[in-house]
Amino acid sequence: MPQLDPQSSQPPDPSTSDSMAKSYQPSLLTALHCHQHIHLIIGLSPIAFSRAQSSLLANAIPILIAPLPDGTQSVEDAGVHHNLVTLINEGRVKHLNRAFNPEKDPFELGRDEVGKVVDAVFVVSTPEGTLAPGWTRERVAELCRRNRIPINVLDSPQLSTFSLLSVHNDGPLQIGVTTNGMGCKLASRIRRELASSLPKGLGEACERLGRVRRRIIEEGEVPEQGEGEGDDSLEQGRGLNRLVLEGSVEERKGRRMRFLAQVCEYWPLKKLAGVTEDEVRAVWEGYLRGEGQQNGTHKGQQNEAILREQQIRAQVDQNGSHTSQAQGLGLIILAGSGPGHPSLLSRATHTAILTADIILADKLVPSGVLDLIPRRTPVQIARKFPGNADAAQEEFLTLALSHLRQGKTVLRLKQGDPFIYGRGGEEVAFFREHGVPEEKIVVLPGVTSALSAPLFAGIPATQRDVADQVLICTGTGKKGKPPAPPEYVPSRTVVFLMALHRIEGLVAELTSPTAEELENSKGGNRAFWPINTPCAVIERASCPDQRVIRTTLKWVVQAIEVEGSRPPGLLVVGRACEALWTKGGKERSWVVEEGFRGLEWEGVERALEGLGE
C-alpha cells in the first residue's frame, strides 16, 4: 500500500510509478455553494469582470479592491471594462478605491458567521500600487494558504489553491472543463464542443424533472434510498433495475420515484429536453396502471427491468405520437444552398434536402443542388419574375403554412444564406405571426455569395494594405426603390447584390450626387467613387458556367451591355479587385474570364502528394 512521505504535502499517485510520473496534478472538481460568500477581486484587469460575473452567477458578493490610475476620478475614466463599470454603478460589485491590504482585508471584509474571514481571493493584476507597500503576489498567496483562504492568482497556478473551469451554463445544468493547465485554450474548445452536442432545452428539462421529483417527495411516495442516491458524482445505483415484488406496500410507494429514475437513465436526451411535466405524469400514470396485472391474475413477482423496457418503450412511442397529433404542426426549415456548387452545401442542409416532405425552392437555386432532391419529394419552384416578386413570395409563404399545418416538414430552399438578402427574416416573422412556435422554425445558414463569389474570382475581399473592411449592400430596395449609395472609402471592398439589372443607375449614384442629394444640397457631404475604381461582375459563382468581367466603374455599364447577363450575379467594387489579378500587356476596357475550375479534390490530393517528392 502506498506510504505517505511525511515531508511531502501530496500523497503518491497509486496509479503511476516513479518512472511514469505525471506532468500534471489532477484536481478535485467540486461545485461550491457560494450564496452570500465574500469574494475579493484584486486589480483592474479586464479579467476582473469575468471573475465578478462568475461570483455573481453563484450568488456571491464580489468586492473589487484596486486604486484608480493617477489622473482619473472614476472607473469610467480609468478605462475599466464597460460591463464591470455597469455592475459597479448598479451596486452589484463594491469597489474600494485603494490598495489591497493583505494584513486586514482578508480578515475584516468577510461574513460575520465565519469570523469576518473572506471566502475567496482572486488576484487578476498587480501593477504598482495595487498591493500595500512591501507585498507581492507570492506573499499574498502564502498568507492565504497559511490561513486556509482559497486563492486564485491569474496565470500563476503554482500560487493558486484553486482554478476556475471553462463552464457551460444552462439553468441548473452546469458543465465544467479543465485541462489542469496543460491544454491552454483547449478547455474552452472542448466545452463548446460538448455544449453544442447537447439538445437545446436540456437545462430546462433538468429543472422540470427536478420539480417532478420534489412533488413526489412532498406526496410522501419516496422509497428508502441507498447511500449517494442524490450525489451527482456517483453513477446510477444498483437499485435502478433491482427485482421488485409486486404487492409490497413499501415498494409500491416508491414506484413513481423509480420510474422517474428510469426516465432519466433511459430516455434519449433529445426526448428529455422536450418533455413536459404533464407528459411525465401521463406516462408514469400509464406505467402504474399497467403494472402487476395479467388476465386479471396477480402475478406475484416481476423483474422491474423487464417492465421498464416494455413500459417505457411503449410509452415513448405512444407519447411521441400523441404529442405530434396534439401540436398538429410540422417543421419549417429555411436553408441556404450556397452560391451554387453542391459541395458547398452544409451537411445540415443536405440532410434537410434528403428528408423533407416537400421543398419550396427559389428559382435561382442551381440545378446541381436541385439534382440532390429525392425523386419522391415534391418540389415547387418560386414563380418570381420582375413585377411579381412580392406576390410570388406571398404565394410561397401561404403554401408553406398550408403544408406545415398538415404536419409536414417543409424545406424552404434559398440560394446563398437565408439572412443575407434572402428575406429569411421576413419569413421567420411571418410564421411567428401565424402562430408557428419557435421550436417549429429552423434556419440553416448557407455560404453567402457575397463573400464566396469574390473568392472564386480570385478577389480577396480583405487584404493588408489593400482593403481592411467589407460592406455588403443591395442594389435594389423595397418596391424597387434604390437604397442610399455608400460613400467612397479607399480601403473598403463593397459587394452589391441584386444590382446588375440597374447597373447604370447604380454607377451614377456612386460617382455623382443623387437627385435627392442635389435637391437637399447634401451632395458634397458624401465622398464619391472615382470613375477609375476597379470592379468585377461575378455571375453564377462556383457553377460550371461561372463568368467574371473585370473592369472599372467607367466601363462596367458598357461591358454588361456588350457581354449580356448571366444571373445570378453580383458586383464587387474596390481596390481588392486588382490585388491578385495580373493585367495583360495590352490595356483593355474589360476582361472576361469564363468557367469554373471546380472543386477537384483528387487534383488537390495529387498536388499534395507531389509536395513530398
Is residue 153 a contact partner of residue 137, using CB atoms and an 8 Å limit? Answer: yes
Q: Which range has the worst mean pLDDT, 99-103, 311-315, 436-440, 588-592?
A: 311-315
For residue 492, pLDDT over 90 is answered with yes
For residue 304, pLDDT over 90 is answered with no
CATH number of 331-447: 3.40.1010.10
Q: For 488, what's the count of Cα atoms within 13 Å in the CB-facing half-sphere?
A: 21
Residue 288 pLDDT class (50, 70, 90 cuts): low
Mean pLDDT of all residues in the chain?
A: 82
Largest CA distance in the chain: 99
Residue 283 pLDDT class (50, 70, 90 cuts): low
3-state secondary structure 382-421: CCCCCCCHHHHHHHHHHHHHHHHHCCCEEEEEECECCCCC
For residue 259, pLDDT over 80 is answered with no
Cell for 234? 456517483
Residue boundaries of the structural domains of the chain: 38-164, 202-224+240-291+300-327, 331-447, 450-594
* pLDDT score recorded for residue 226: 55
For residue 56, pLDDT over 80 is answered with yes
DSSP class of residue 581 equals P
Residue 328 pLDDT class (50, 70, 90 cuts): confident
Is residue 577 a contact partner of residue 534, using CB atoms and an 8 Å limit? Answer: yes
Averaged pLDDT, 155-168: 93
Q: How far is CA 240 from CA 243, 285, 423, 544, 604, in A?
A: 9, 19, 52, 60, 54
What confidence tens digit (pLDDT) does each residue in 532-551 have? 999 999 999 998 889 999 99
Averaged pLDDT, 559-577: 92
For residue 573, what are the β-bridge partners?
494, 535
Residue 23 pLDDT class (50, 70, 90 cuts): confident
For residue 172, pLDDT over 70 is answered with yes
Cell for 405? 399545418
Cell for 341? 456548387
Amino acid making up residue 242? R
- Of the chain, the percentage scoring pLDDT greater than 70 comes to 77
The Cα 537–Cα 454 span in angstroms is: 9
Is residue 132 a contact partner of residue 99, using CB atoms and an 8 Å limit? Answer: yes
Cell 430546462 sits on residue: 204
* pLDDT score recorded for residue 57: 95
Q: Which range has the worst mean pLDDT, 34-38, 290-294, 417-421?
A: 290-294
SS3 315: helix
What confidence tens digit (pLDDT) does each residue in 199-229 have? 889 999 999 888 888 888 887 765 555 555 6
**Dihedral angle of Cα 220, 225, 229, 235, to the nearest 10 degrees:** -130
Q: Which residue has the higher pLDDT, 594 or 243?
A: 594
Residue 293 pLDDT class (50, 70, 90 cuts): very low
331-447 and 450-594: same fold? no
Residue 290 pLDDT class (50, 70, 90 cuts): very low
CATH number of 38-164: 3.40.50.720
* pLDDT score recorded for residue 52: 97
The Cα 204–Cα 214 span in angstroms is: 15
Residue 18 pLDDT class (50, 70, 90 cuts): very low
Cis omega (within 30 of 0) on the bond before 568?
yes
What confidence tens digit (pLDDT) does each residue in 232-247 have? 665 554 454 454 444 5
Q: Could you say which architecture CATH assigns to the domain 450-594?
A: 2-Layer Sandwich (3.30)
